[in-house]
Amino acid sequence: ATMALAVATATAPTNIAVVKYWGKRDAKLNLPVNSSLSVTLHQDDLRTVTSVAASTAYEADRVWLNGEEQDVASNKRLQAVFREMRARAGDRVDPATGEVVIAKADWPQYRLHVVSE
């Protein structure tokens, strides 16, 4: 069976890099060129909330960042993210029944709408 609309929402805390990572001085030993320092804020103070809705009824992939729609058609990086999201998506299972509502093989038929604030 297919599902007309599937939605998932996640939150993530904000992380601020104070001293950034600049690469590896020794890749074999996995040692950085310099130390890095960052601060992660509590989600009560500042966070990102991202929701993804998937539907076969959507005509195109779309993205809104902080209320402003982004141009997916001319953004190769966003297009790559959408391709990767579909490639990584597995079966979506109804937790109440155990029924597969979207099979992994069906994800290429779905268009995604992403809203992040």
User: Residue 35's pLDDT is what?
Assistant: 84
In whole angstroms, give the CA distance from residue 92 to residue 100.
6
pLDDT tens for each residue of 59-114: 999 999 999 999 999 999 999 999 999 999 999 999 999 999 999 999 999 999 99
Q: Within 10 Å of residue 112's Cβ, how many Cβ atoms? A: 21
According to DSSP, the residues that pair with 47 across neighbouring strands are 13
**pLDDT tops 60 at residue 3:** no
Which residue carries 């500042």 as its tokens?
Answer: 46
pLDDT tens for each residue of 38-65: 899 999 989 999 999 999 999 999 999 9
User: Residue 30's pLDDT is what?
Assistant: 87
The reported pTM is 0.76
CB 71 within 8 A of CB 22: no
